[in-house]
């Protein structure tokens, strides 16, 4: 019986559930004996000139071995993302200026971790405050510049150098436009950032770091330090979540390496949560203007998306992500005319990068909001309007007006199935009954349909499979997981070919000396690249074993089959085990799989919320999702990815937001203030399945890691608005907090007499 598609429990778990996983801060590697602990002195101001840094008192504090300031670091400030405005470089420790609260200003190395904060508190920095610029619209005005010598706050853009088509909406009877916010979020993996480095006598450095892609992190750090990447041995131990914010390296990792060299001792660093919520890359942070037009029958004829993205103080991946937002702008819809542009500006805030979905949730949230506004304007059911405009199943591969080529999809079917699964008609009836009764608790129903891009950007991945003489198997993979269960799934893929049970298969990842090439785990790419590479390697190993066995068994390769870890002459009991073959000669295959293109998983979600219209509080009562990522290797793992994604989607819609005051002070820099949800704020989830394969890889697999987030966010936001739409509310920005819902209801009631709430709608 095939192991594929079965609910295999994780091979990782017995250790995780007994002695616990080993994260970077847990390491007891003897090479780290005597390591110094790094404590960073961070800026309390968002924007200021540094006039003096006095570290003398800190140097005298107990346990202090060294204190460094920016002046001590002999590294050129680095452009942290190659596509950004080249002058927007970040110093390793701030020298002349600080540009966000949390920017490192001095580095304190102590014998004991408890001594670090004591000493750091003694570092005196004199600041001359400058005006903060927090709102990207204000940054765009270039009145306060973060980098005076650059002369602008514009960090990058896509399609922003040409004018919008003034005739885009000429054919439309109805045009709706709205400014919406896709708010800034903190990725908040439970493990904060951590690194440890030790230089060896051979002139190489071993760096342990909590990262999603060790090989890329190694290359980035080498580039920043100006050394050969071959000198860095980077190891990712167990990683406690990433969600995009641990893609690649952070400057602190490079600083740890540099400091270890400078003091000639191992150095360890693990940040606090308060540091994490100002230092780690944050996500989303787009201001969008959406304009949608069509006819009163419900045909959408034109769509425009104008993006102003917030890069934070020092441009990182956040500069690039609007590229994906533009590419996915039309969503699942076949819209005749689509145009978009994106501008990204620096602000005196934490830098932005990937967060679960990374540019695509922003696209889906925008088009789904636009579809709702359009449907409301023409007075039609939002689910019906969606179905009317989706790309039909016979149109694939389908090249969109966003410039993407969708591989396969059944969008209308997905919407139909999720509506049926949720009992959409009954829900509408229940909603009508509550409205009729004038209930305090009203029902809201939100429908979203989405398509997203997975495996984008890095299509190739290495894999190696080796059977050993003792019958065990080692799999090497370039995708380095942080909770996704690759050890289990990759074992299943190898086991399927070799017939060797997964208990005998070890999956290794995250060590750049062992696995020099790899692109890591991000963008829902792992199965369709790294997993397929393992599948391919195991298949090639079967063929290799057959060729070798043909000699041993004096049989034709065509007469041989591999099952239960042995090569057998078909129809006989003449066989040789793979282990025996390995005894004679190393039995190992290295391979590379290259899909050449990304895949486009899709789905539809229905969210049901209850809104207390007196207090404004919304609670998700139920969410039903259909997420189609093609055939599933292990439903237990795939469902887990969907659950986590759905929770983060609900949370963006209802709860989470990184907030800065006008002076750039973060107001959500602890978990007491940042609205990370607990089990008590979330419902259980209803998952529906559908599997439309892609032809871009032999498993037919697409990515599943981010789908839940991309679909759930607009469904829940839409449901909250839907609950109070009968009062005249058309839009509420996320998070749809009780305060915002209450204010929206009040505003609609005030305006309802004049009907001005819908005045933004009909512009033509």
Partner 1 sequence: MTISVNTSVKVGITVNGEETTADVEPRLLLVHYLRDVLGLKATNVGCDTTSCGACTVLVDGESVKSCTVLAVQADGQSVTTMEGLSPNSTELHPMAAAFRAEHGLQCGFCTPGMVMAAVSLLEENPTPTEREVREGLEGNLCRCTGYHNIVRAVLSASGQNPDAVQTTSVDADADQSPAGGVESAPGFSTGSGA
Partner 2 sequence: MIPVAFSYARPDSVDGALALLAEHGEDATILAGGHSLLPVMKLRLGAPEVVIDIGRLPELRYIRVQGDEVAIGAGTRHRDLEASDVLGSDVPLLAAVARTVGDPQVRHRGTIGGSLAHADPASDLPAAVLALDATIVLRSPRGERQVPATGFYTGMFSSVKEPDELIVEIRVPRTGSAGWAYEKFTRRANDWAIVGVAVVDGRVGLVNMGASPLRASATEAALADGASIDEAAALADQGTDPQTDVSATAEYRRHLARLLTRRALTTAAG
User: 686 contacts which partner out of partner 2, partner 1, none, CB within 5 to 8 A by kind?
Assistant: partner 1
DSSP sequence for 74-133? -S--B-SSTTS-TT--B-SS-SSEE-STT-EEEEEEESSHHHHHHHHTT-EEEEEE----
Residues 416-445 that bind partner 1 (CB under 8 A): 427, 430, 440-441
What is the CA 221 to chain-centroid distance, rounded?
21
739 contributes a contact to partner 2 by CB under 8 A: yes
Minimum distance between the CB of residue 396 and partner 1, rounded to whole angstroms? 31
User: 19 contacts which partner out of partner 2, partner 1, none, CB within 5 to 8 A by kind?
Assistant: partner 1
Residues 273-332 that bind partner 2 (CB under 8 A): 274
Stretch of 7-15, 140-148, 332-340, 574-582 lying at the interface with partner 1 (CB under 8 A):
7-15
Q: 3-state secondary structure string, 22-44?
A: CCHHHCCCHHHCCCEEEEEEECC
* Beta strand extents in 400-525 (DSSP E only): 405-406, 441-451, 460-467, 473-477, 505-508
Stretch of 21-29, 578-586, 659-667, 745-753 lying at the interface with partner 1 (CB under 8 A):
21-29
DSSP sequence for 277-323? HHHS-EEEEEEEEEEEEE-TTS-EEEEEEEEEEEEESS--GGGTTHH
Q: Which C-beta is closer to partner 1: that of 53 or that of 502?
A: 502
User: 737 contacts which partner out of partner 1, partner 2, none, CB within 5 to 8 A by kind?
Assistant: partner 2
Closest CA to 727 of 753, 708, 691, 702: 753
Residue bearing tokens 């919320």: 609
User: 185 contacts which partner out of partner 2, partner 1, none, CB within 5 to 8 A by kind?
Assistant: none
One character per residue 245-274, x = contact with partner 2 (rule: CB under 8 A):
---------------------------x-x
Residues 596-625 that bind partner 2 (CB under 8 A): 614-615, 617
User: 618 contacts which partner out of partner 1, partner 2, none, CB within 5 to 8 A by kind?
Assistant: partner 1
111 contributes a contact to partner 2 by CB under 8 A: no
Minimum distance between the CB of residue 658 and partner 2, rounded to whole angstroms? 10
Stretch of 11-19, 46-54, 560-568, 660-668 lying at the interface with partner 1 (CB under 8 A):
11-19
Minimum distance between the CB of residue 530 and partner 1, rounded to whole angstroms? 17
User: 22 contacts which partner out of partner 1, partner 2, none, CB within 5 to 8 A by kind?
Assistant: partner 1
Q: Which C-beta is closer to partner 2: that of 726 or that of 742?
A: 742
Q: Which of 76, 82, 141, 190 binds partner 1 (CB under 8 A)?
A: 190
Stretch of 161-169, 282-290, 463-471, 606-614 lying at the interface with partner 1 (CB under 8 A):
606-614
Q: Which of 670, 695, 746, 763 binds partner 1 (CB under 8 A)?
A: 670
- Which residues does 167 contact at the CB level (< 8 Å), separation at least 6? none
CA distances 33 to 29, 264, 266, 385, 737, Å, are 7, 13, 8, 64, 48
The edge-to-edge listing of strands for the beta sheet with 64-69 is: 64-69, 104-110, 36-42, 267-270, 194-199, 205-209, 232-235
Q: How many residues line the site for partner 1 (CB under 8 A)?
A: 73
User: 145 contacts which partner out of partner 2, partner 1, none, CB within 5 to 8 A by kind?
Assistant: none
d(CA 187, CA 674): 11
Q: Which C-beta is closer to partner 1: that of 295 or that of 670?
A: 670
User: 743 contacts which partner out of partner 2, partner 1, none, CB within 5 to 8 A by kind?
Assistant: partner 2
What is the CA 644 to chain-centroid distance, rounded?
12
Residues 639-658 that bind partner 1 (CB under 8 A): 639-640, 643-648
Q: What angle do CA 383, 389, 394 make, to 5 degrees?
A: 115
β-pair type (205-209, 232-235): parallel
749 contributes a contact to partner 2 by CB under 8 A: no
Q: Which C-beta is closer to partner 2: that of 105 or that of 270?
A: 270
Q: Which of 390, 541, 553, 682 binds partner 1 (CB under 8 A)?
A: 682
Residue bearing tokens 């005894």: 583
C-beta atoms surrounding 208 within 10 Å: 28
Stretch of 199-207, 506-514, 570-578, 735-743 lying at the interface with partner 2 (CB under 8 A):
735-743
Cβ atoms of residues 351 and 314 within 8 Å: yes
* Beta strand extents in 121-167 (DSSP E only): 124-129, 154-158
Cβ atoms of residues 255 and 271 within 8 Å: no
34 contributes a contact to partner 1 by CB under 8 A: no
Residues 41-60 that bind partner 2 (CB under 8 A): none
Tokens of residue 506, six digits: 């070890």
d(CA 764, CA 762): 6
Give the DSSP H/E element, type plus range, for residue 386: helix 382-389
Residues 235-274 that bind partner 1 (CB under 8 A): 238-241, 243, 272-274
**Coil, helix or strand at residue 331:** coil
d(CA 423, CA 445): 11
d(CA 752, CA 730): 12
User: 10 contacts which partner out of partner 1, partner 2, none, CB within 5 to 8 A by kind?
Assistant: partner 1
Q: Which of 22, 117, 177, 686 binds partner 2 (CB under 8 A)?
A: 117
Residues 631-690 that bind partner 2 (CB under 8 A): 655, 659, 667-668, 673, 675, 677-678, 680-681
Tokens of residue 687, six digits: 């998952």
Q: Which of 678, 753, 754, 764 binds partner 1 (CB under 8 A)?
A: 678
Stretch of 328-336, 407-415, 457-465, 633-641 lying at the interface with partner 1 (CB under 8 A):
633-641
Q: Which of 265, 268, 548, 622 binds partner 1 (CB under 8 A)?
A: 622
One character per residue 80-119, x = contact with partner 1 (rule: CB under 8 A):
---------------------------------xx-----
d(CA 281, CA 336): 36
Q: Which C-beta is closer to partner 1: that of 315 or that of 649?
A: 649
Q: What angle do CA 107, 113, 114 make, to 5 degrees?
A: 110
474 contributes a contact to partner 2 by CB under 8 A: no
Minimum distance between the CB of residue 315 and partner 2, rounded to whole angstroms? 27
Residue 295 has, within 13 A of its CA and on its CB side, a CA count of: 6
Contacts with partner 2 by CB under 8 A lie at: 114, 117-118, 121, 272, 274, 614-615, 617, 655, 659, 667-668, 673, 675, 677-678, 680-681, 737-739, 742-743
């Amino acid at each position: 019986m095939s192991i594929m598609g079965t609910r295999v429990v994780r091979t990782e778990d017995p250790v995780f559930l007994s002695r616990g996983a080993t994260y970077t801060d847990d390491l007891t590697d003897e090479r780290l004996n005597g390591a110094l602990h790094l404590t960073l002195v961070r800026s309390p101001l968002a924007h200021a000139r540094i006039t003096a840094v006095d570290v003398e008192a800190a140097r005298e504090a107990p346990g202090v071995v060294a204190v460094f300031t920016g002046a001590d670091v002999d590294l050129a400030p680095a452009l942290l993302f190659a596509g950004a405005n080249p002058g927007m470089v970040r110093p390793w420790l701030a020298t002349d200026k600080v540009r966000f609260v949390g920017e490192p200003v001095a580095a304190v190395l102590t014998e004991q971790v408890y001594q670090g904060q004591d000493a750091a508190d003694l570092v005196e920095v004199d600041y001359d405050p400058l005006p903060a610029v927090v709102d990207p619209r204000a940054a765009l005005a270039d009145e306060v510049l973060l980098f005076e010598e650059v002369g602008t706050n514009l960090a990058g853009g896509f399609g922003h150098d040409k004018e919008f088509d003034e005739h885009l909406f000429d054919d439309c009877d109805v045009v709706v436009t709205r400014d919406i916010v896709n708010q800034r979020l903190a990725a908040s993996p439970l493990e904060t950032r951590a690194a440890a480095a030790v230089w060896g006598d051979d002139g190489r450095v071993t760096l342990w770091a909590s990262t999603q892609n060790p090989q890329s992190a190694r290359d980035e750090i080498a580039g920043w330090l100006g050394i050969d990447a071959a000198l860095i041995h980077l190891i990712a131990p167990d990683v406690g979540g990433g969600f995009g914010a641990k893609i690649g390296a952070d400057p602190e990792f490079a600083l740890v390496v540099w400091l270890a060299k400078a003091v000639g001792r191992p150095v360890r660093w693990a940040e606090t949560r308060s540091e994490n919520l100002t230092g780690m890359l944050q996500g989303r942070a787009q201001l969008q203007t959406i304009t949608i037009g069509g006819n009163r029958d419900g045909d959408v004829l034109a769509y425009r998306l104008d993006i102003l993205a917030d890069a934070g103080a020092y441009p990182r991946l956040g500069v690039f992500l609007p590229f994906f937002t533009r590419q996915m702008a039309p969503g699942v819809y076949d819209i005749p005319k689509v145009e978009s542009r994106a501008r990204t500006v620096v602000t005196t805030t934490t830098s932005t990068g990937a967060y679960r979905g990374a540019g695509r949730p922003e696209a889906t949230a925008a088009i789904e909001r636009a579809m709702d506004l359009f449907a409301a304007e023409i007075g039609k059911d939002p689910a019906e309007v969606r179905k009317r405009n989706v790309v039909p199943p016979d149109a694939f591969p389908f090249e969109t007006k966003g410039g993407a080529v969708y591989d396969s999809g059944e969008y209308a079917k997905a919407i139909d199935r999720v509506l049926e699964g949720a009992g959409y008609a009954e829900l509408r009836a229940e909603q009508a009954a509550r409205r009729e009764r004038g209930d305090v608790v009203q029902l809201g129903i939100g429908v979203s349909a989405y398509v997203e891009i997975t495996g984008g950007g890095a299509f190739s991945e290495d894999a190696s499979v080796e059977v050993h003489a003792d019958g065990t198997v080692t799999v090497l993979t370039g995708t380095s997981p942080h909770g996704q269960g690759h050890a289990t799934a990759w074992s299943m893929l190898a086991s399927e070919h070799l017939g060797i049970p997964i208990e005998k298969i070890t999956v290794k990842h995250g060590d750049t000396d062992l696995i020099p090439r790899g692109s890591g785990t991000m963008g829902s790419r792992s199965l369709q690249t790294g997993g397929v590479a393992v599948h391919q390697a195991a298949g090639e190993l079967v063929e290799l074993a057959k060729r070798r066995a043909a000699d041993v068994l004096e049989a034709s390769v065509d007469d041989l089959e591999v099952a239960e870890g042995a090569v057998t002459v078909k129809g006989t009991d003449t066989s040789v085990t793979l282990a025996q073959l390995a005894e004679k000669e190393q039995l190992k295959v290295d391979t590379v799989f290259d899909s050449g293109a990304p895949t486009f998983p899709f789905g539809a979600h229905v969210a049901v919320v209850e809104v207390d219209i007196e207090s404004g509080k919304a609670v998700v009562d139920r969410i039903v999702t259909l997420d189609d990522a093609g055939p599933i290797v292990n439903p237990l793992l795939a469902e887990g990815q969907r659950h986590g994604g759905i929770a983060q989607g609900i949370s963006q819609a209802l709860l989470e937001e990184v907030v800065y005051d006008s002076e750039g002070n973060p107001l959500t820099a602890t978990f007491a203030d940042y609205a990370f949800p607990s089990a008590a704020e979330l419902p259980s989830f209803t998952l529906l399945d559908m599997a439309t394969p892609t032809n871009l890889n032999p498993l037919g697999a697409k990515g599943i890691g981010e789908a839940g987030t991309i679909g759930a966010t607009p469904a829940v936001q839409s449901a909250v608005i839907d609950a109070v739409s009968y009062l005249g509310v058309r839009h509420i920005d996320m998070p749809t907090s009780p305060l915002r819902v209450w204010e929206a209801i009040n505003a609609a009631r005030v305006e309802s007499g004049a009907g001005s709430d819908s005045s933004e709608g009909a512009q033509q």
